[in-house]
Amino acid sequence: MRVSDVDAAFPMLPFHPDLWRFMFFRFYATPDSPFQHLLVHLCGDFGTSGMPGVFKMFFVDVVVNMARSVQVLTLPLPVYVDDCALIGAIRMVVDAEMAAFHAWAEVVCGVYFKVVKDKLAARTQLMLGFVWDSRTLTRSLEERKFWAYLEMLFEFSGRSTLTLREMQSAAGKLNRVCMTLSPGAACMLVGLFALMAGLRLPWHSRRVTKQVKGDLRWLHKLLGLNMGRGYYSYEHFRCAPEVRTDASKSGKFAGGGYVSRCGRYDLFLWAPCGSQADRLFGG
């Protein structure tokens, strides 16, 4: 994987003139100016909520597809806002294609990349806060973030109240934690998002429920067990043997069991001694 970052992604996109009247503001033109000037934003900025979607239409739907149409790009290129990851089997080919894309995008589309932040193709690569390993198909949290997340989970699970700002910050970090766990682990964030419902200002707070505290404790335990590393693909896993299960319940006994294609089996009972279940199963 080779990682590149678009330079000044949002500011390169101009606002439509119909929007200019909403972008006026007053500020000092220079640090030593004695009075304020009337200024206007003509291009996008990183504080506008709609800009990631607009940039996606410009860069992914237009620029990247143009490059593919002229065969400048042939390898897979996942894009997350302005972070690009070119993926291929041969390191030299990946690096050469990304360099060619940089040159083409600059000349044809006026799109520049941050050369200083470029990461050459490697099997173990840092992107979006994860270390991706193409040999083991795992993604791992950076070590400093791993310890910071453990500390945050420990602290918040013992708190009686949390502010909206703290909950929003925790939700973003815990989403990363869930990406290192098995599919479906994000269900443990439902209670935290429910706490945020109705809060508007960053300092608004809410009492932490027993459910949320329990979820945070479980996440702390699970993160400590997997050491911040999980699988992004299960292609290297083999299919487990087929297992069939069944259960039975009546007024006299209840029980169940399983049998696996590998030959293992078991059965279990929930019944008082001397019951019909004991006689049936030789108890």
Q: Check residue 122 and give left, alpha or beta (phi > 0: left; psi -120 to 50: alpha).
A: beta
Q: For residues 207 and 160, is the Cβ–Cβ distance under 8 A?
A: yes
Q: Is 113 helix (H, G, I), strand (E, B) or coil?
A: strand
- What digits encode the pLDDT tens for the residues 192-247? 999 999 999 999 999 999 999 999 999 999 999 999 999 999 998 988 889 999 99
Average confidence (pLDDT) over 115-143: 93
Please report the pLDDT score of residue 48 as a whole number.
76
The first and second tokens of residue 15, run together, are 């606002």
100 or 281: which leads in pLDDT: 100
Sequence-separated (6 or more) residues with CB below 8 Å from residue 155: none
Distance CA(230)–CA(63), nearest Å, equals: 33
Average confidence (pLDDT) over 151-163: 94
DSSP 225-262: HHTTEEES--TTPPPPPPEEEEEEE-SS-EEEEEEETT
CATH no. for 140-231: 3.30.70
Q: For residues 130 and 196, is the Cβ–Cβ distance under 8 A?
A: no
256 or 47: which leads in pLDDT: 256
Please report the pLDDT score of residue 283 as a whole number.
47
Q: Where are the domains of the chain?
A: 2-124, 140-231, 243-280
Q: For residues 133 and 139, is the Cβ–Cβ distance under 8 A?
A: yes
Average confidence (pLDDT) over 141-158: 94
Sheet holding 229-231, edge to edge: 124-127, 130-133, 138-141, 229-231
Sequence-separated (6 or more) residues with CB below 8 Å from residue 210: none
End-to-end CA gap in the chain? 61
Sequence-separated (6 or more) residues with CB below 8 Å from residue 160: 207, 208
Q: Assign 277 a pLDDT band (cuts: 50, 70, 90).
A: very low
